[in-house]
Amino acid sequence: MPDLLFVGDVQGCAQELRDLLATAGFDPGRHRLAFCGDLINRGPDSVGVLELARRMDALAVIGNHEVALLEGRPSPTLDQVRRQLGSSLEQWIGWLRSLPTFIRGDGYILVHAGIVPGKQPEECTREELTELRTVNGEPWFHFWRPSLLQGPRHRVRLRGTAHRPLVAPPRVGLGACPAPLVSARGILRSVSGRALSSRSHV
């Protein structure tokens, strides 16, 4: 099986994503991309990100920015995405609509925002999986334990890596559950180590 490179919240930054892949030594023959949602919006080239993800046959889950586009929410940046997609908008809407809210893999669960403590991801709503931030005012991962999940007991969550490809992204933090060990270059060689979540700080 190929090694997985997990990338979170690219948010339309196609050139930064390409820089990240080059820095990580990404090789399509040996590696596979896995996107943690929010491929689009805010950045200048959402089309470039989507095209790369589809061309590379990347794994991907839906994020809150994709949900906002699918639901037709108005915003200046989403309007820009719609203009960028142009005549291909409906085609890309269909592709985004096909993305799952989570993926159970070999030793990991890929999800955009989080998993509600005490629930299986299959029991969570799309809103929870794409927007979860806190539980009773505390970061959700303070309550998360791998024993709460059956099957694969590791979870992968990265944010901001495409925006800051050469340094550890400031919004990525260390949680308390087993998850991937990530090298400074970004290639995940194993699914053991410490959890990563955007809701705490390194």
Tell me how far apart the alpha carbons of residues 62 and 66 are, in angstroms, rounded to a whole number: 6
Residue type, 191: V
pLDDT digits (tens, 9 = 90+) for 77-131: 999 999 999 999 999 999 999 999 999 888 888 898 888 888 888 999 999 999 9
Q: Using a cut of 0.85, tell me whether the model's pTM lies above it.
A: no
Note whether 107 and 154 are within 8 A (CB): yes
91 vs 149: CA distance, rounded Å: 35
Q: Is the pLDDT of residue 165 over 60?
A: no
Cα separation, 14 vs 20, in Å, equals 10
Give residues with Cβ within 8 angstroms of 101, minimum separation 6. Answer: 61, 62, 111, 112, 121, 124, 126, 129, 130
Q: Please, which pLDDT band fits residue 145 given cuts at 50, 70 and 90?
A: low
pLDDT reading at 176 higher than 90: no
Q: Decide: 51 and 88 in contact? Cβ < 8 Å.
A: no
Average pLDDT rounded to a whole number, residues 22-40: 91
Domains and CATH numbers, the chain: 3-197 (3.60.21.10)
User: What percent of the chain is modeled with pLDDT above 70?
Assistant: 70
Residue 24 has pLDDT above 50, yes or no: yes
**pLDDT of 175 over the 60 cut:** no
The DSSP code sequence of 71-128 is: TT---HHHHHHHHHHGGGHHHHHHHHHTS-SEEE-SS-EEESS---TTS-GGGS-HHH
Angle between helices 76-85 and 46-55 (to 10 degrees): 50
- Closest residue by Cα to residue 155 from 111, 100, 124, 202: 111
Q: What is the pLDDT of residue 17?
A: 92
Nearest in space to 64 (alpha carbons), one of 154, 152, 125: 125
Residue linked to tokens 């791998």? 146
Mean pLDDT over residues 4-24, rounded? Answer: 90
Average pLDDT over all residues of the chain: 74
Measured CA to CA, the distance from residue 49 to residue 14 in angstroms comes to: 5
Beta strand pairing call for 155-156 and 188-190:
unpaired
